[in-house]
Structure 1
Amino acid sequence: MEYKWDEAKRLANLRKHGIDFTDVPAVFDGDIVTVEEDRYGYGEQRFVTFGLLQGRVIAVVHTEREDCTRIISARKATKL
């Protein structure tokens, strides 16, 4: 699977949460739990995936496109 993201969003996420989108694909290689994110009307189907990255549980918000997984945000999981 290919992973894509907005570069400005990647840099903002890195500054705010200390997690680089370039590291996030490794989360999907391990044990994960994915749920649909439907709290808001985003106009597209979004998912939150919980998994391990460098020994920490993180939450990755993403969409599934025909050709890729598009990463929207990644942060330390504080509420499961």
Structure 2
Amino acid sequence: MKISFDPKKDEQTRLERGLSLALGAEIIRSQVAVRMDSRFDYGEERLIAYGYLEDRLHVCVYTVRDDTLRIISVRKANEREVARYGR
């Protein structure tokens, strides 16, 4: 499956969080849990994956469009998420 993301959003995420949206693919591959993001009506099905980059739990929000995973956001998991989904 192909991976895509908004280059401007990637630059913003790199500056604010020190992470590239490209890392979302690794988070999805290493996922320990995935759930639907049903907080709002986004007009598309969004998924939230929890997975590891090295020894740290991270979160990736993404959607599937045809044969492409569209990465929406990547961040470190917060304490609550680590307690729930961590090793």
Runs of 4+ in 1 over 3 A off after TM superposition: none
Asked if 2 retains the 8 angstrom alpha-carbon contact of 1:24 and 1:53, the reply is no
In structure 2, what is the equivalent of residue 3 of structure 1?
Answer: 3
What residue number does 2:47 align with? 47
Aligned residue in 2 for 1:13: 13
Q: What SS does the aligned partner of 1:19 have?
A: coil
> Does 1:64 find its partner at 2:51?
no
Separation in 2 of the partners of 1:63 and 1:31? 15
Quick one: which amino acid aligns to residue 51 of structure 2?
G
Distance 1:44 1:31 in 2: 21
User: How many angstroms does 1:41 deviate by?
Assistant: 1.4
Of 41-50 and 19-28, the range deviating more from structure 2: 19-28
What is the TM-score of this pair, normalised by structure 2?
0.83
More helix by share: 2
Given that 2:37 and 2:45 are in contact with CA atoms closer than 8 Å, whether structure 1 keeps it comes out as yes
Amino acid at match of 1:66: D
Give the aligned length. Answer: 80
Per-residue deviation, residues 29-54 of structure 1 (Å, max 9, x unmatched): 22431100010111111010000012
Instruction: Flag structure 1 segments of 5+ consecutive residues without an equivalent.
Output: none
Q: CA RMSD in A?
A: 1.2
